[in-house]
Structure 1
């Protein structure tokens, strides 16, 4: 049985929808106090109201653009003001606009790297002192199978950002180890979220067909992985990645799934 996280303080960036909201719900159900951060105040308020109706822990909100250093520092200060401590940072905020490589502009690339990569680094930096003071600080990064393992047309900038997160992770793990802070990453496959729904029914059916479990993952699947990395029992795990994809990256071709 895992040590309870009740009363722990958790920040979830990009927590107003999708995977981030699923992560926030998982922690709040365990009794943790959760601060969800995002760029849109209305979306955050709606998410917090929804989460509060189904959880034990407190759910608070903070407007934050993680691509901005000052916003991340203010986010950490807000968590300390509201909860008195920061035990877990779930660096989840990310964007995935679709555009072919030949059409990418410098602004397109800067936008994605700013949120996905710089946002991860800035949010970790901002929380370092509080995570060290916690005595069991945990950082959980939401990366992806896209970039580190797989590719997908239109997402070259996204894939680059997600692979870069893992490069950051491995050195950060070494630097943070003396501070008793662990940092690990979850690499989701195709997860049923609002963003994926926008890609259409045909895309979803096609993805299910090439996943050995023949289903998309749920946001709770990612939340449970984050919960494990945040646990006291995972205290000797750092600099590692966990693929959560229903076996999606395993078949060498669609023919491997024929008849199963």
Structure 2
């Protein structure tokens, strides 16, 4: 049996990058998968690529109704919500001097409000299940150290850590575990357009001297989703190749 056999996993922002890698890894370990993405057609295509028991649903994570629709789709299709991954994200990078209020609000809304709405909705189901559940919040190394041009993103990702720890304390009694992952420089569509000089500077900070792969983040998510981490909650795992340790 796979590590997630008989379980249902919801992954937001799951149509590409790290989210898709997580969805793929979970499906390979036997999980039914619900992919939520702002691009509904991309979510459906991603589910078709995974095959098996996977469905795609359009979802704006900053909207409570959309989050609740993901819950409904999972329960109607597969009967439960056992794993929830708050992965959806955007960037609106700019120095604080030039960043607009709209750019700040957009990033906070998708990352922090989205993670809170997802955690709130998932725990409302999981705490009433005998099996509890696992929630995985995607933070970032930017939330640990702060990066220039990312006052919005760094603030949101740091906030996700506080959310993770506080929520884990609230629902641990019901067997619901909540943990966070802080990826570093990972090969995704958002990073592949990076200027060569910036990429070289960031690689110089990484002891393992390479960019990480989405599948490497997915394996950590699999650990947190499965019973391998049954006594782990409120933790933050860095997947950074040693950068900023």
TM-score between the two structures when normalised by the length of structure 2? 0.95
Unmatched segments (≥5 aa) in structure 1: 251-260
Per the TM alignment, residue 37 of structure 1 is displaced from its structure 2 partner at its CA by: 0.4
> What residue number does 2:178 align with?
183
The 2-side partners of 1:248 and 1:161 are apart by: 20
The 1-side partners of 2:86 and 2:192 are apart by: 23
Per the TM alignment, residue 201 of structure 1 is displaced from its structure 2 partner at its CA by: 3.6
What secondary structure, in the 3-state scheme, does the structure 1 residue paired with 2:154 have? Answer: helix
User: Mean Cα displacement is larger for which, 189-198 or 41-50?
Assistant: 41-50
Equivalent pairs counted in the alignment come to: 244
- Which runs of 4 or more aligned residues in structure 1 lie more than 4 Å from their structure 2 counterparts after TM superposition? none
Q: Is the 8 A contact 1:139 1:183 kept in 2?
A: yes
The 1-side partners of 2:35 and 2:162 are apart by: 26
2:121 is the alignment partner of 1:122: no
- Map 1:54-203; keep pairs closer than 5 Å: 57-132=52-127, 133=129, 135-148=131-144, 150-203=145-198
Unmatched segments (≥5 aa) in structure 2: none
Alpha-carbon spacing, 1:202–1:134, altered in 2? closer, same or farther (3 Å):
farther
> What residue number does 2:230 align with?
235
Q: Is the 8 A contact 1:113 1:157 kept in 2?
A: yes
Q: Is the 8 A contact 1:197 1:204 kept in 2?
A: no
Q: Is the 8 A contact 1:87 1:134 kept in 2?
A: no
CA RMSD of aligned residues (A): 1.5
Q: Is the 8 A contact 1:35 1:59 kept in 2?
A: yes
Per the TM alignment, residue 49 of structure 1 is displaced from its structure 2 partner at its CA by: 2.5
Deviations 1:61-97 (A, max 9, x none): 1101010111111111111111110100011111112
TM-score between the two structures when normalised by the length of structure 1? 0.89
The 2-side partners of 1:16 and 1:203 are apart by: 27
The 2-side partners of 1:88 and 1:170 are apart by: 17
User: Mean Cα displacement is larger for which, 26-35 or 129-138?
Assistant: 129-138
